[in-house]
């Protein structure tokens, strides 16, 4: 692009976008990719076969639009949450879209927008901010404490200060990996007049005793719990995220979605995968084992890993995080530079990937004390 055309296009861009850079986790073709918290395991054969058969059955009907209300998929998601989280939800309480990113976009299109504001407590998932901005919603950068935790009293003070229309909580939180206690979620619900979104993209990786906010749904029509098939389900490429909320919330989502937003191929693939939930989730325990191994081993290295409820670990204590990131990449290992000084984030991979990461990091630290 010439400097001149850049100038012209930038002058026409909405002003709030002019200083922004696009979401850009590097997609590099390296042997060990541990930077976007994907599930490192490919789909088991049985699941791949079911998905392939389900897609084949749809292909002849691609001349028709898909079921706009994706009713069978909602039923499958409701069945899954009954088993995984022990909550009984009516299909009218479920909504799905192309990844939970699109779910969040629908929420902000409906409940944010010009003249309204969303509050999130950073560091947290950066797309909460970016989607707020792209939907014209004012973004309030709330704070966490020095350990990146959020205490109820601190959250309430910030809500009282800003009176947001939408509050984002993220539990387990990306990039810290830590969960929020149910007390904080309840306190926030009590303190705000607006919508409270609990982003539970990593819920299936939580340690024993970490409650989901799904249990709070019956008494809280302003609560939205968003989840995804991208992580625990190893289904990131299919782009399926969903939310659970009051039926009035899902009704509001119908106002903002584009008609037929979930293709018949997406719906068929997701339903087929949900039919194998047990098998797909069988990798979750292995990933949690590698995650805990990373926490233990990094502590042995003298670093500061944060105990995690998700499929990744944030760790501090690095002299120069950028130099460590580059040294790992030189060994074919891609982790995430989250822009917090002295910290990096790594996804828990397979045992072999985790070993490659830990070995390369140990060598780097030995050579760069």
Judge contact between 95 and 243, C-beta under 8 A.
Answer: yes
Stretch that binds ligand PMP, among 12-20, 98-106, 261-269, 290-298 (CB under 6 A): 98-106
Judge contact between 192 and 164, C-beta under 8 A.
Answer: yes
**Cβ closest to ligand PMP, residue 242 vs residue 297:** 242
Q: Does 39 bind ligand PMP (CB under 6 A)?
A: no
CB of 342 to ligand PMP, least distance (A): 22
Q: How far apart are CA 148 and CA 194, in angstroms?
A: 24
What's the length of the chain?
369
Q: Does 170 bind ligand PMP (CB under 6 A)?
A: yes
Judge contact between 139 and 133, C-beta under 8 A.
Answer: yes
Q: Does 101 bind ligand PMP (CB under 6 A)?
A: yes
Q: Interface mask (CB under 6 A) for ligand PMP, residues 218-257, using x and -?
A: ----------x-x-----x----x----------------
Q: Which of residues 190-219 bind ligand PMP (CB under 6 A)?
A: 199, 201
**Cβ closest to ligand PMP, residue 152 vs residue 338:** 338
The closest of 121, 49, 87, 66 to 279, measured between CA atoms, is 49
Stretch that binds ligand PMP, among 2-10, 14-22, 99-107, 155-163 (CB under 6 A): 99-107
String of b and e for 166-188 (b: at least 16 CB within 10 Å)? Answer: bbbbbbbbbbbbbbbebebbbbb
CB of 302 to ligand PMP, least distance (A): 28
CB of 63 to ligand PMP, least distance (A): 29
**Cβ closest to ligand PMP, residue 344 vs residue 360:** 344
Tokens of 354: 């985790």
**Closest residue (Cβ) to ligand PMP?**
99
Q: Does 99 bind ligand PMP (CB under 6 A)?
A: yes
**Cβ atoms < 10 Å from Cβ of 302:** 9
Residues in CB range of 141: below 8 A, 6 or more apart? 120, 122, 129
**Cβ closest to ligand PMP, residue 177 vs residue 360:** 177
Tokens of 329: 């990449």
Maximum Cα–Cα distance across the chain? 62
CB of 350 to ligand PMP, least distance (A): 19
Residues engaged in binding ligand PMP (CB under 6 A) = 37, 99-101, 125, 170, 174, 199, 201, 228, 230, 236, 241
């Amino acid at each position: 692009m010439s400097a001149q055309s850049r100038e012209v296009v930038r002058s026409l861009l909405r002003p709030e976008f002019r200083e922004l850079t696009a979401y850009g986790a590097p997609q590099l073709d390296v042997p060990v990719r541990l930077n976007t918290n994907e599930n490192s395991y490919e789909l088991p054969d049985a699941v791949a076969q079911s998905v392939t058969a389900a897609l084949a059955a749809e292909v002849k009907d691609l001349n028709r639009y898909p079921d706009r209300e994706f009713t069978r998929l909602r039923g499958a998601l409701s069945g899954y949450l009954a088993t995984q989280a022990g909550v009984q939800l009516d299909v009218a309480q479920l909504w799905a879209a192309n990844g939970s990113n699109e779910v969040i976009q629908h929420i902000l299109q409906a409940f944010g927008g010009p003249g309204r504001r969303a509050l999130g407590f950073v560091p947290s998932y950066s797309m909460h901010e970016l989607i707020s901005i792209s939907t014209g919603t004012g973004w309030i950068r709330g704070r966490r404490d020095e350990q990146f935790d959020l205490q109820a009293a601190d959250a309430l003070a910030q809500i009282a200060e800003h009176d947001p229309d939408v509050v984002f909580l993220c539990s387990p939180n990306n990039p810290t990996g830590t969960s929020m206690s149910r007390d904080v979620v309840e306190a926030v619900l009590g303190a705000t007049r607006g919508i409270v979104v609990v982003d539970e993209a990593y819920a299936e990786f939580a340690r024993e005793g970490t409650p989901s906010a799904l249990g709070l749904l019956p008494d809280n029509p302003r609560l939205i719990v968003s989840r995804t098939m991208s992580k625990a389900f190893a289904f990131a490429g299919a782009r399926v995220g969903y939310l659970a909320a009051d039926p009035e919330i899902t009704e509001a989502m119908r106002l903002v979605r584009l008609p037929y937003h979930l293709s018949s191929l997406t719906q068929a693939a997701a339903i087929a995968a949900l039919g194998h939930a047990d098998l797909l989730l069988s990798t979750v325990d292995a990933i949690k084992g590698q995650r805990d191994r990373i926490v233990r081993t990094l502590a042995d290295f003298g670093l500061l890993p944060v105990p995690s409820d998700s499929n990744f670990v944030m760790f501090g204590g690095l002299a120069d995080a950028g130099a460590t990131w580059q040294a790992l990449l030189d060994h074919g290992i891609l982790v995430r530079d989250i822009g917090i000084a002295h910290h990096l984030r790594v996804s828990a991979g397979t045992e072999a990937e985790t070993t490659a990461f830990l070995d390369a990091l140990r060598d780097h630290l030995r050579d760069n004390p």
